[in-house]
């Protein structure tokens, strides 16, 4: 599959990213490389292989419904660039 | 042309677990912003979600009660979207292998609503606009709270059917203990998919999806508004655009959300962090066997076994704790109809007077059973019993102690009543003469005088009897 610049525009729009032209060009080439590798994988005959969603044969990994004290708010908020009133501050998204 | 409205519902229900779906933070409602959070529910890199076993149990329980087929194998998928209410930039949900499918809900009047599927997912956080900075604040306390989403087929034809379904759903989930279904706290939220078509047409029209419906009233009004809007468009020869519309409670209208918010390309894929869920036959059998009795069944049983009128059964089963209270009362030997009357009159009256819900009530069935027994034994008259009830309701006091302390026990001692009757007859010769002249009203007056002397604690039956005897 060919990756076009329009596709890169669309994907960056879904991720709310604004890419300058040179990054856009670089990204197009990189995505193209990734998708080309999928084409290599697609050449394998997998007709007799069960699809898996998980690489380990694990199932039913669960925990019991018991409350553990939550994290320290200041410590958690320290991971964001802007904070106000105990909350992350992000660009306007609600009206 | 005559039009038909076609509606399908997507209902999100918050599950009544103590902790979130993929981490051990509390699900308690409210709290200061971001105090019910940890690196997992805040989507920090390198964290690993682990599924809460209670979520599976509640989702399967709901699926069974809604007559769904439970999937022996189910999995979680990532629904990718970049919006700050979910810090991971994806919601963990189920698309390809939901936990339950193909259910049915009987909403009465011979109508059944088919359930397309029921799946587990995580709730998103809350965004608050800051008017000073013109920016948005994010509160992730609700982020990761477990939800089930219940998707129906487009089987509704009116707002009334939608409300009947939601009431049934709410009642069922509350009885199962799956959710508290408090709409005002967002525990039950509903998106309405609506289209119109000419009556008789088999094809579905173009639909719109309405969000932000926070009450049954809003749902009814939004359906009426949106159906009218679509019919007007079509009658003018215009088209309905498939879009998401937001209900504005204040303007009583729906409006299209911005097209950017509308761009729906979720690029779902299986979540590699979460292994699949496989349910054994034994596990399903165990949950099936432990399904509690639902309200509908209780109503039928109360009518069949105890001869209660349909109205009484509706009132009593309106809250699960009330029904349980009632059953405990009957188990303690109270006559079912007597118990029902006390619940519908006094219990509901006091709950409403104190602004309480039945589940917050301190009064025990034993206390009310004792009170009803005292009336039945003729030791308290009914009016006094109601006063005692009001006195002990809030803190669940000791009925016998209260009656004794306040000297309220009914006087059934015929000898004492006789003495008082004689005094009253002697002091009211005119009334006695009136009565003998045929004025029945005078009898009531004499009864009243005797009761007053005995501070209202005499048994009316005994007073009547003694008076009649004395008057010959």
Which span out of B188-197, B238-247, B261-270 was modeled with the highest average pLDDT?
B188-197
* B341-357: average pLDDT: 90
Return the number of CB contacts < 8 Å for A and B: 134
Backbone angles phi and psi of B89, in degrees to 5: 70, 15
Asked if the C-beta of B133 comes within 8 angstroms of chain A's C-beta atoms, the answer is: yes
The CATH number given to whatever domain includes residue B465 is: 1.10.10.410
- What digits encode the pLDDT tens for the residues B25-54? 999 998 999 999 999 999 999 999 999 999
Question: In whole angstroms, what is the distance from residue B117 CA to residue B285 CA?
Answer: 20
| Secondary structure of residue A44 in the 3-state scheme | coil
User: What residues of A are in contact with residue B128 (Cβ under 8 Å)?
Assistant: 87, 94
Interface test with A, best of B275, B278, B279, B283 (most A CBs within 10 A): B275
How do the pLDDT tens digits run along chain A, 95 residues long? 788 999 999 888 888 888 999 999 999 999 999 999 998 998 999 998 887 777 778 899 999 999 999 999 999 999 999 999 999 999 887 65
> Each residue of B22-31: b (16+ CB within 10 Å) or e?
bbbbbbeeee
Interface test with B, best of A67, A75, A86 (most B CBs within 10 A): A67
Q: Return the number of other C-beta atoms located less than 10 Å from residue B417's C-beta.
A: 21
Please give the pLDDT value at position B406. Answer: 75
Output B259 or B117, whichever has higher pLDDT. Answer: B117
The answer as to whether B290 is a domain residue is no
Tokens linked to B469? 């005897």
Asked if the C-beta of B51 comes within 8 angstroms of chain A's C-beta atoms, the answer is: yes
Please say whether the beta carbons of B97 and B75 come within 8 A: yes
Please give the pLDDT value at position B229. Answer: 95
* B70-97: average pLDDT: 94
User: What residues of A are in contact with residue B42 (Cβ under 8 Å)?
Assistant: 71, 76, 79
Please give the pLDDT value at position B385. Answer: 87
* B320-348: average pLDDT: 93
Question: In whole angstroms, what is the distance from residue B395 CA to residue B148 CA?
Answer: 37
The answer as to whether B438 is a domain residue is yes
The DSSP result for B384-431, as a single string, is HHHHHHHHHTTTT--HHHHHHHTT---B--HHHHHHHHHHHHHH-HHH
User: What residues of A are in contact with residue B84 (Cβ under 8 Å)?
Assistant: 88, 90, 93
Q: Is pLDDT above 80 for B455?
A: no
- What digits encode the pLDDT tens for the residues B54-73? 999 999 999 999 999 999 99
Query: Is residue B261 domain-shared with residue B306, that is, in the same domain?
Result: no
Asked if the C-beta of B47 comes within 8 angstroms of chain A's C-beta atoms, the answer is: no
User: What residues of B are in contact with residue A61 (Cβ under 8 Å)?
Assistant: 50-51, 274-275
Backbone angles phi and psi of B273, in degrees to 5: -80, -15
Question: In whole angstroms, what is the distance from residue B389 CA to residue B386 CA?
Answer: 5
The DSSP result for B18-73, as a single string, is SB-SSS--B--S--STTSS--TTTTT-TT----EEHHHHHHHHHHHHHTTPEEPSE
Provide ipTM, 2 decimals. 0.89
The answer as to whether B12 is a domain residue is yes
* Residue A10 lies in domain: 1-45
The answer as to whether A77 is a domain residue is no
Query: Is residue B467 domain-shared with residue B325, that is, in the same domain?
Result: no
Question: In whole angstroms, what is the distance from residue B312 CA to residue B300 CA?
Answer: 11
Tokens linked to A29? 């080439």
Instruction: State whether A60 and B278 contact (CB < 8 Å).
Output: yes
* B85-95: average pLDDT: 95
Asked if the C-beta of B16 comes within 8 angstroms of chain A's C-beta atoms, the answer is: no
Tokens linked to B22? 């993929």
Please give the pLDDT value at position B383. Answer: 83
> Each residue of B337-354: b (16+ CB within 10 Å) or e?
ebbbebbbebbbebbeee
Please give the pLDDT value at position B263. Answer: 59
List the Cα angle B321/B323/B329 in 5-degree steps: 100
The pLDDT confidence band at residue B462, using thresholds 50, 70 and 90, is: confident
* Residue B397 lies in domain: 295-405
Number of domains in chain B: 3
pLDDT, averaged across chain B: 90
Indicate the residue among B260, B283, B306 that finishes a domain: B283
* B200-209: average pLDDT: 91
Nearest chain A residue to B45 by CA distance is A79
Instruction: State whether A95 and B129 contact (CB < 8 Å).
Output: yes
Query: Is residue B334 domain-shared with residue B191, that is, in the same domain?
Result: no
Query: Is residue B8 domain-shared with residue B91, that is, in the same domain?
Result: yes
The answer as to whether B289 is a domain residue is no
Please give the pLDDT value at position B100. Answer: 98
Question: In whole angstroms, what is the distance from residue B322 CA to residue B318 CA?
Answer: 7
The CATH number given to whatever domain includes residue A3 is: 1.10.20
Within B262-361, strands assigned E span 269-270, 277-278
What percentage of chain B has pLDDT greater than the value 90?
62
Nearest to B24 among A66, A91, A92 (CB): A66
Query: Is residue B454 domain-shared with residue B430, that is, in the same domain?
Result: yes
Please state which of the ranges B86-95, B163-172, B233-242, B429-438 shows the lowest mean pLDDT: B429-438
Asked if the C-beta of B44 comes within 8 angstroms of chain A's C-beta atoms, the answer is: yes
- What digits encode the pLDDT tens for the residues B350-371? 998 988 888 888 899 999 999 8
The pLDDT confidence band at residue B24, using thresholds 50, 70 and 90, is: very high
Please say whether the beta carbons of B8 and B152 come within 8 A: yes
Question: In whole angstroms, what is the distance from residue B403 CA to residue B358 CA?
Answer: 25
Please say whether the beta carbons of B213 and B219 come within 8 A: yes
The DSSP result for B209-238, as a single string, is EEEEE-SHHHHHHHHHHHHHHHHHHHHTT-
Q: Is pLDDT above 90 for B399?
A: no
């Amino acid at each position: 599959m060919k990756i076009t610049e329009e596709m890169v525009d669309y994907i960056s729009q879904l991720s709310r990213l604004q890419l300058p032209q040179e990054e856009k060009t670089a990204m197009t080439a990189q995505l193209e490389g990734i998708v080309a590798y999928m084409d290599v994988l697609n050449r394998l005959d997998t007709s007799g292989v069960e699809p898996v969603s998980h690489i380990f044969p694990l199932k039913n990994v669960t925990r019991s419904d018991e409350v553990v004290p939550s994290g320290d708010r200041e410590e958690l908020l320290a991971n964001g660039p802007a904070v106000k009133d105990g909350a992350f501050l992000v660009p306007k998204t609600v009206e | 042309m005559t039009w038909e409205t076609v509606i399908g519902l997507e209902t999100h229900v918050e599950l009544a677990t103590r902790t979130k779906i993929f981490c051990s933070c509390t699900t308690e409602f409210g709290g200061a912003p971001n105090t019910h959070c940890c690196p997992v529910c805040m989507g920090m890199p390198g964290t690993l979600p682990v599924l809460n076993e209670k979520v599976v149990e509640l989702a399967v329980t709901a699926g069974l009660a809604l007559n769904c087929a439970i999937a022996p194998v189910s999995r979680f998928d990532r629904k990718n979207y970049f919006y700050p209410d979910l810090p991971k930039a994806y919601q963990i949900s189920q698309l390809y292998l939901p936990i339950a499918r193909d259910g049915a809900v009987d909403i009465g009047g011979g109508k059944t609503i088919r359930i397309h599927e029921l799946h587990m997912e995580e709730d998103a956080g809350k965004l608050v606009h800051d008017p000073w900075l013109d920016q948005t604040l994010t509160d992730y306390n609700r982020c990761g709270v477990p939800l089930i989403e219940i998707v129906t087929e487009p089987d509704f034809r009116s707002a009334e059917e939608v409300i009947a379904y939601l009431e049934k759903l709410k009642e069922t989930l509350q009885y199962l203990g799956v959710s508290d279904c408090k709409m005002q706290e967002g525990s039950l939220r509903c998106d309405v998919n609506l289209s119109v078509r000419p009556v008789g047409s088999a094809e579905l029209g173009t639909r719109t999806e309405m969000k932000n419906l926070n009450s049954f009233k809003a749902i009814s009004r939004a359906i009426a508004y949106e159906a009218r809007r679509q019919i007007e468009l079509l009658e003018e020869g215009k088209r309905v655009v498939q879009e998401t519309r937001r209900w504005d409670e204040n303007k009583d209208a729906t409006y299209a959300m911005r097209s950017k918010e509308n761009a729906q390309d979720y690029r779902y894929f299986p979540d590699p962090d979460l292994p699949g869920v496989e349910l054994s036959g034994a596990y399903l059998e165990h949950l099936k066997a432990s399904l509690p009795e639902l309200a509908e069944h209780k109503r039928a049983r109360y009518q069949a076994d105890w001869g209660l009128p349909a109205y009484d059964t509706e009132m009593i089963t309106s809250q699960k704790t009330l029904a349980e209270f009632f059953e405990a009362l009957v188990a303690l030997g109270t006559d079912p109809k007597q118990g029902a009357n006390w619940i519908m009159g006094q219990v509901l009256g006091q709950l409403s007077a104190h602004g309480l819900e039945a589940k917050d009530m301190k009064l025990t069935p034993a206390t009310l059973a004792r009170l009803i027994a005292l009336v039945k034994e003729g030791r308290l008259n009914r009016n006094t019993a109601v006063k005692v009830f009001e006195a002990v309701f809030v803190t669940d006091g000791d009925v016998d102690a209260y009656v004794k302390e306040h000297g309220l026990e009914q006087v059934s001692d015929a000898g004492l009543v006789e003495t008082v009757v004689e005094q009253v007859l002697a002091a009211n010769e005119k009334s006695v003469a009136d009565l003998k002249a045929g004025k029945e009203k005078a009898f009531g007056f004499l009864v009243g005088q005797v009761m007053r002397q005995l501070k209202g604690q005499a048994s009316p039956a005994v007073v009547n009897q003694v008076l009649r005897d004395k008057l010959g």
